[in-house]
Amino acid sequence: MRRVRFRDSAGNVRGGRWATRDGEDVVTAAAGPYGRIAFGDETFDPEEVDILAPCEPTKIVCVGRNYADHADERDEEVPDRPLLFIKTPNTVATHGSTVTLPAGKERVEYEAELGVVIGEQCRNVDAVNAEDVIAGYTCFNDLSNRDDQDIEQNWVRGKAFDNAAPIGPVIATPEHLADDATIEARVNGETRQSSTIDRMIFSIPELIEEITTYMTLEPGDVIATGTPEGVGPLSDGDEVEIEIDDVGTLRHSVRFPDA
């Protein structure tokens, strides 16, 4: 199942499932409160409703250099344990939105990533039990302001600016994700990144074990699992797509306020 949150024409926040019927995308609204596994006959065209972030994270835990080829292209060493940093709730941006990037910056880059959505409060989770706390998977773009990232140690300006984390449009339940699923980034229709998630240095269970050793994860929190090679700068008006096999395709555009 691919779960979705959306706002209907009356302004109501709804939950539902996203499916494809006869080649057309359809959102079927939940028949009860969001989270209830019951669906009615009410359907919507996803292009005609406001698609919201599929979850409301208290934090996004990001993993740096989790693909060796990305570390190489950044001329950085492969870490011997997961390199972690945080994106805060202000960074969340939605499918279909236009993301306003920081003013006065010369290099803001896309990074296609698999997002792991946590389903329950958890701490000190062993890797062997990690799948028990996963609600599902989503597409994630770790927008990165290299101008500031490359000169500061904590990456707050580089990674935690407003709308720096486009996410969605759905949460695909775990059975959808193959071990070797393809992840791609496209800019204006041109493929810029293409890899498979089995090339991660640290696996999803290893990441969950490491992260929950240090902090409690809450339902709706997201782990952004790192990006493969092929990152690059964005220009005003660019259209970005992040696609993961059998999970979905996240689409958004970008603008520079001083362009």
- The string of DSSP letters for 110-148 reads E-EEEEEEE-S-BSS--GGGGGGGEEEEEEEE--EEHHH
Residue 216 amino acid letter: T
Q: How confident is residue 30, by pLDDT bands cut at 50, 70 and 90? A: confident
Share of the chain above pLDDT 90, in %: 92
Query: pTM for this one?
Result: 0.96
Which residues lie closer than 8 Å to 212 by C-beta, 6 or more apart? 122, 123, 124, 125
Q: Which of 74-78, 99-103, 166-170, 230-234 has the weakest average pLDDT?
A: 74-78
pLDDT band (50, 70, 90) for residue 21: confident
Nearest alpha-carbon partner for 184 in 109, 250, 98, 96: 250
Confidence (pLDDT) at 127: 99
Averaged pLDDT, 181-193: 99
Backbone angles phi, psi at 103, to 5 degrees: -75, 150
Asked whether the predicted pLDDT for residue 35 surpasses 70, the reply is: no
CATH code linked to domain 60-255: 3.90.850.10
Nearest to 28 by CA among 13, 36, 38, 17: 17
pLDDT digits (tens, 9 = 90+) for 81-100: 999 999 999 999 999 999 99
Please state, in angstroms and as integers, the Cα–Cα distance from residue 221 to each residue in 62, 95, 113, 134, following that order: 11, 18, 15, 10
